[in-house]
Amino acid sequence: MLISAAGPGSVPVASPTGAAPTDFVPAPQAGDYPIPANPVVAVCGATGAVGRVMLETLERLDFPASRVRALASARSAGTTIPYTGPGAPDSGQLTVEEMTPDSFQGVNIALFSAGAAITKQFAADVNAAGAVIIDNSSAYRMDPEVPLVVPEVNPADAHRHNGIIANPNCSTIQMVVALAPLVKLAPIRRVVVSTYQAASGAGQAAMDELYNQTGDFLAGRSFTPQAFAHQIAFNCIPQIDVFLPDGQTKEEWKMVVETKKILHNPDIQVNATCVRVPVLRSHSESVNVEFDAHAGKYVLSLSDVRAALASAPGVVVIDDPEHLDYPMPAFTAGRDEVFVGRIRTDPTVENGYQMWVVADQLLKGAALNAVQIAQLLLP
């Protein structure tokens, strides 16, 4: 059971208007899941954009697996994926296997990035086989019995699982990595965030559409959007995921409730606007933070905020306006860290500060965060 600021089990599961998405399903309950020093790891959804980066990350970080298995749909079964990290076959190629209920026998850790429906379909089978799920989908993020973990922020929560650990939404992850060191300075009362999210956050088909539409647009050829509701080339789309009855999108709702859960603070106010932009990889966020420095109990300065961010794990500060130096998505793709710049005071509110936060959503926003959670489980 997670421990929140309001006591055991009091993690918020509803939207600010009190209405949770209608697809909420409780996670299955399970027992103990001992993890050996050299676990067998299954990557579920291995042929997708995030699944492939999961495999690359396991290899790059030398994750001490005794064996790595690549699972996907029947359509992908029999194809191969290069892998030479610990647990790799002698050929240096993983043969993709069809994911079935029997696929998880002998598996210790299952990294899922195949969508919420697939996670829900196989969760009971994975747990029955004795494996822990680290899930990149939204399937169980707001289940109060499932920890929602960012290792730089709430690593202890990973050890309070009942067989499933949820990876937060990509846009939430990079924001809370930047907020975590600031929470240690003083309580945060309110966060206002606007996101500028790359096409790759919607998958490989979305990246292909951005490439192809850009060429068609420049050549004067007509095109019909497929992966997005509207043209993405040379355009911004102020909608990510479906609209909820209160007018916000589900992506925005995720940022609100996930931030509360990860920071163990149901009282923090979060307002998000999420926008898809014609960038291939790396999400950017404009984040305004208002501290609750009530009655002068906390004395904050811009230098305090800068110093806290500069010393935070997983954060790189790039902030030199004189030399036009600040984080940009074109130069952070392929990097593990969360980059922060444009750090300044917000003169419109008392104890307010602003920052610009950029991270590769396929890495820290998804695959890397999942592998880091797996590292936390090692004995």
215: domain CATH number?
A: 3.30.360.10
Q: Please confirm, yes or no, whether 230 is among the known catalytic residues.
A: no
pLDDT digits (tens, 9 = 90+) for 236-259: 999 999 999 999 999 999 999 999
Dmax over CA atoms of the chain, in Å, equals 65
Assign 11 a pLDDT band (cuts: 50, 70, 90): very low
Assign 295 a pLDDT band (cuts: 50, 70, 90): low
Are residues 151 and 178 both part of a single domain? no
Over range 60-75, report the average pLDDT.
Answer: 98
Q: Please confirm, yes or no, whether 236 is among the known catalytic residues.
A: no
Assign 12 a pLDDT band (cuts: 50, 70, 90): very low
Taking 3-state DSSP, the helix, strand and coil percentages for the chain, each rounded to the nearest 5, stand at 30, 25, 50
Are residues 162 and 184 both part of a single domain? no
Q: Closest Cα to residue 21, out of 194, 256, 196?
A: 256
pLDDT digits (tens, 9 = 90+) for 130-150: 999 999 999 999 999 999 999
Buried b (16+ CB within 10 A) or exposed e, 264-296: bbeebebebbbbbbbbebbbbbebbbbbebeee
- Strands 7-8 vs 97-98: parallel, antiparallel or unpaired: unpaired
| Helix H or strand E segment including 4 | strand 3-4
Over range 72-87, report the average pLDDT.
Answer: 97
Looking at residue 359, its pLDDT comes to 98
Give the pair of three-digit tokens for residue 194: 């606007």
Interatomic CA distance for residues 82 and 61, integer angstroms: 16
- Domains in the chain: how many in total? 2
Determine phi and psi for 72, rounding to 5 degrees. Answer: -160, -165
Given the residues 170, 230, 274, 294, select the one marked as catalytic. Answer: 170
Looking at residue 167, its pLDDT comes to 98
Are residues 230 and 279 both part of a single domain? yes
Over range 177-183, report the average pLDDT.
Answer: 97
Query: Which range of residues forms the domain containing residue 187?
Result: 173-361
Interatomic CA distance for residues 1 and 159, integer angstroms: 10
Lowest average pLDDT, out of 49-53, 123-127, 290-294, goes to 290-294
Cβ-contact 35, 379 below 8 angstroms: yes
Over range 99-106, report the average pLDDT.
Answer: 98
pLDDT of residue 31 exceeding 90: no
Over range 261-287, report the average pLDDT.
Answer: 97
Are residues 212 and 352 both part of a single domain? yes
* Angstrom distances, CA of residue 83 to CA of 54, 62, 96, 296: 11, 11, 12, 55
Are residues 219 and 340 both part of a single domain? yes
Are residues 227 and 349 both part of a single domain? yes
Over range 254-275, report the average pLDDT.
Answer: 98
Give the pair of three-digit tokens for residue 374: 């797996």
